[in-house]
Amino acid sequence: MATKTYNFSSIKYADLEELVSLKVVDNEQKFDDWFQTPYKMKGSETLFLKNIIQKHKTRITSYLEEDLKAKFLIPILNQVDFMAEEVNDWYDANLSGIVNNIEINGFTDYMVAQGTKTPRRPYFFIQEFKPSIPDRNPEVQLLAELLVTVEKNQTAVMRGGYIIGQFWKFVLLEKIKENQFQYFVSPAFDALKLPDLKQIYVILQAVKHRYCKD
């Protein structure tokens, strides 16, 4: 039975450190297997990415959070198309779980999970915020979601990403042993630069084809 409850929207890094042993490790090579997944991009996909950059590059800095999501992020995620026979993507879906006898719950910005009517087994998360909101940290909220899911799925590794404006970072969380975790944060990708956006797209396709399964 949970003795205390935290919400994703308000949890702090210090709260996570009270729950588990959590350490960030600087090792970009940890992403090699994920980021270097072979994917042959179609000409139509490259054209789509070029067009979305051209359409939004002079306006994106003025977008509010919902504008950024609706106009820029959702079209990219729809192009990747995580919807499959037993998998779907979800916006503002509820997630809850127990980490070291503490409940953490709330609504996720974006989640890819097993299930077609309701999400069951989560595979991947994206958190997105405007940098003008000083008391909200997408990395911390993402880590909380990954911790919950490692425990719910009884797995050792979970992946996700977070977005601030045009910049994307990806995160890989590993469970070392009971209540002991380490995580890795990728370099930032600038989604308004075509080579970076193409890499983001390939990374998301790798999630779809390699990690959205039991």
**Longest pairwise C-alpha distance within the chain:** 54
For the whole model, what pTM was predicted?
A: 0.94
pLDDT for 193 equals 98
180 by DSSP, 3-state: which? strand
- Eight-class DSSP state of 30: G
Output the pLDDT for position 130: 61
With residues binned 3-state (H G I as helix, E B as strand, rest as coil), the percentages for the chain, rounded to 5, are 40, 30, 30
Alpha carbon distance 89, 69 (integer Å): 14
Q: What integer pLDDT is reported at residue 213 of this predicted model?
A: 82
148, two tokens? 């919950």
Name the residue type at position 67.
D
Chain-centroid distance, C-alpha 44: 25
CA distance 206 to 200: 10
Tens digit of pLDDT at every position of the chain (214 positions): 557 899 998 999 999 999 999 999 999 999 999 999 999 999 999 999 999 999 999 999 888 888 999 999 999 999 999 998 899 999 999 999 999 999 999 999 999 999 989 999 999 999 987 654 555 689 999 999 999 999 999 999 999 999 988 999 999 999 999 999 999 999 999 999 999 999 999 999 999 999 998 7
Q: Which of 201, 133, 205 is nearest to 164 (CA)?
A: 133
Spatial CA neighbour of 8 closest among 77, 103, 89, 81: 103
Closest CA relative to residue 35, chosen from 173, 180, 183, 199: 199
Between the alpha carbon of residue 142 and those of residues 42, 69, 100, 103, the distances in Å are 31, 17, 18, 15
Query: What is the rounded CA–CA span in Å between residue 15 and residue 144?
Result: 10
Q: List, in sequence order, every residue forming a beta bridge with 67; answer none if it has no partner.
A: none
Locate 135 and state its tokens.
Answer: 């008391």
Q: What does the pLDDT read at residue 64?
A: 85
